[in-house]
C-alpha cells in the first residue's frame, strides 16, 4: 500500500505531488530545493544550498522511518555544472560508503542552484 510521507520541516509542494511516498520498505522522496521551511530563506552559495537540500531530504526520510544510510539512489540537478566539485564536497558530509548510486545533470532551475531527489530502502 502507498503511504504519503510529509513533514512541516520542509516546504510544502508547489504542485500536485507528495513530499515522499513509502511502499513497503522503499521510500521515494520528491525533488527538494534549498528553501528552509522554518525561516523561509534560501541560502545563496552552492555549498549552503546543497546542505539545505540534503537536510530537507533527511527530514522527509526521517518522517518515513528511514536514514540517509538507507538511500540507494540520488538524482541531482545542478543549474551550473561548474558547481559540481563544491556540491560534491558537501554531499560527502551526508553519505558514507558504500555511497548510493547517483546521477548528476545540468538543468534549468527556477532561481535555485540545486535540486535533489532520492530513493531509499529501509534496512531493518
Domain boundaries of the chain, sorted by first residue? 2-121
Q: pLDDT, tens digit, for every residue of 33-80?
A: 999 999 999 999 999 999 999 999 999 999 999 999 999 999 999 999
Q: Is the pLDDT of residue 124 over 80?
A: no
pLDDT recorded at residue 4 = 98
- Evaluated on CA atoms 15, 17, 55, 82, the torsion sign reads negative
Q: Is the pLDDT of residue 14 over 90?
A: no
pLDDT recorded at residue 94 = 98
Nearest partner of 26 among 76, 65, 79, judged by Cα: 65
pTM exceeds 0.75 for this model:
yes
Q: Which CATH class is domain 2-121?
A: alpha beta
Tell me what percent of the residues of the chain surpass a pLDDT of 90. Answer: 98
Amino acid at each position: 500500500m502507498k503511504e504519503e510521507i510529509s513533514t512541516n520541516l520542509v516546504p510544502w509542494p508547489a504542485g500536485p505531488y507528495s513530499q515522499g511516498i513509502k511502499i513497503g520498505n522503499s521510500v521515494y522522496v520528491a525533488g527538494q530545493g534549498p528553501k528552509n521551511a522554518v525561516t523561509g530563506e534560501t541560502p545563496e552559495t552552492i555549498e549552503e544550498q546543497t546542505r539545505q537540500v540534503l537536510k530537507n531530504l533527511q527530514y522527509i526520510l526521517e518522517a518515513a522511518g528511514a536514514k540517509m544510510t538507507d538511500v540507494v539512489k540520488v538524482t541531482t540537478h545542478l543549474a551550473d555544472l561548474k558547481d559540481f566539485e563544491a556540491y560534491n564536497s558537501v554531499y560527502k558530509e551526508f553519505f558514507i560508503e558504500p555511497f548510493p548510486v547517483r546521477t548528476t545533470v545540468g538543468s534549468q532551475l527556477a532561481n535555485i542552484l540545486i535540486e535533489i531527489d532520492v530513493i531509499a530502502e529501509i534496512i531493518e
